[in-house]
Amino acid sequence: MAGPDFFPPPPRGLKGRAAELTTLARTLDETRPARLALVGSGGSGKSMLAAALGHRVARGFGGRIHWFRVGAWDYQTLAEMLALRFGTPRARGLLVPRLVDFLGREERLLVLDNHEDDRAMARLLEALSGTRASFVITARRCLLSGVLIFPVTAPRVTSGRAAFPRVAPLTRALRWNPLALDIADAIVQSGAATVPALARFLDLGGVARVTAIAHEDDLPEVALLVAWAWPRLSPASRRILGALSHLEGDHADLASLARLADVRGDAELALAPLARWHLVQEPMRGRYAVHAVVRHAALKRTTFDPARAFEHYVALLERDPARLAWEQTHLFSAMDHAHKTGDMAGMLRVERLLGQLDPRA
């Protein structure tokens, strides 16, 4: 079964990245197969840069560019995700050899977004090292040998210039963070707040205060912007943001979000302010995602039963197995949930769904 590819469209308004794009494209052109890791803090623009890079070099790879959200999946799960996408067998003893065979036929670029597990990634890249596939990894940190580490910093931070002119006075307060500045820019552009009003809110919220943060996604400047938006969102909008933040799979369509968030009215109306203020992203038409930093801020404000996501997506795919091509990360999330909770019946339901695929040799 060969599903649709999921490479995001070219990013709009990519600011201050021309030099990085040129360098990375040249590296991929001169070093094939290549293994690059774009490494930077949460919200620094790694995924956007990877998407722009993929489109820049797509012609050189014959259009064979592929996007995978990998997160903290283990080695077996990573390999199975690739097999599902490329239509190669998942059977024991055939999984990796057939992947190696497939990736050895033609040059391809695989972007592995949001990498978190170094041991699993090292094992995967080593297993596929003899192929013609080039890899671009995005990660907050990357402790891998044999991979070229490319640091990603906020655009124009080293020159001290503002990448978002409309909210230039907020640049220093938001520490040049592209995600925070993009959200602030969207808020001001929508007319919901002025730059001085937003500056006052951030200052009163302690944006300049020095505190220890929990991890790379715990960014106070973004959390404060979510705090600004929260009382201005309807309960339905809040529930959609909460549901999307709690999902372990990748992007979701509006129908699933409405059901998981229990939105019984106009779901598009509830989604509108989240999209308008760039609190949610639309990596593909009709599919919605949330940045990990926004996710962390929203998680602290919402609750969600992961069993609801398990039942929703497993039942959805049992009714319509063809949607596996779109919902595979949610299926793997369901598998992970069943393993963690010891739900043997759930494990068997997931395995039956995976077994309905008809992989090519």
Strand partners, 115: 139
Mean pLDDT for 141-166 is: 80
Q: What is the pLDDT of residue 360?
A: 44
Q: What is the pLDDT of residue 82?
A: 92
Is residue 158 scored above 60 in pLDDT? Answer: no
Buried b (16+ CB within 10 A) or exposed e, 235-271: ebbbbbbbbbbbbbbbbbebebbbbbbebeeebeebb
- Per-residue pLDDT band for 13 (boundaries 50, 70, 90) equals low
- Per-residue pLDDT band for 155 (boundaries 50, 70, 90) equals low
> What percentage of the chain exceeds 70 in pLDDT?
93
SS3 at position 202:
helix
Domains in the chain with CATH codes? 18-151 (3.40.50.300), 165-231 (no CATH), 233-299 (1.10.10.10), 306-355 (no CATH)
And the tokens for 339?
A: 């393993």
Chain mean position to CA 314: 22
Mean pLDDT for 336-356 is: 87
Q: What is the pLDDT of residue 339?
A: 81
Mean pLDDT for 293-304 is: 94
For the chain, report the end-to-end CA distance as a whole number of angstroms. 11
Query: Which of the two residues, 107 and 87, has the higher pLDDT score?
Result: 107
And the tokens for 143?
A: 């402790």
Is residue 307 scored above 90 in pLDDT? Answer: yes
- Which region among 264-268, 332-336, 346-350 has the lowest average model confidence (pLDDT)? 332-336
Place of tokens 């995001």: 8
Is 350 in contact with 314 (CB distance < 8 Å)?
Answer: yes
Q: What is the pLDDT of residue 357?
A: 58
Buried b (16+ CB within 10 A) or exposed e, 173-187: bbbbbbbbbbbbbbb
Mean pLDDT for 169-176 is: 92
- Per-residue pLDDT band for 293 (boundaries 50, 70, 90) equals very high
pLDDT tens digits, 104-122: 999 999 999 989 899 999 9
Q: What is the pLDDT of residue 3?
A: 43
Mean pLDDT of the chain: 89
Q: What is the pLDDT of residue 159?
A: 54
Is residue 1 scored above 50 in pLDDT? Answer: no
pLDDT tens digits, 195-243: 999 999 999 999 999 999 888 889 999 999 999 999 999 999 999 999 9
Is residue 68 scored above 60 in pLDDT? Answer: yes
pLDDT tens digits, 122-137: 999 999 999 999 999 9
Angle between helices 324-341 and 75-86 (to 10 degrees): 160
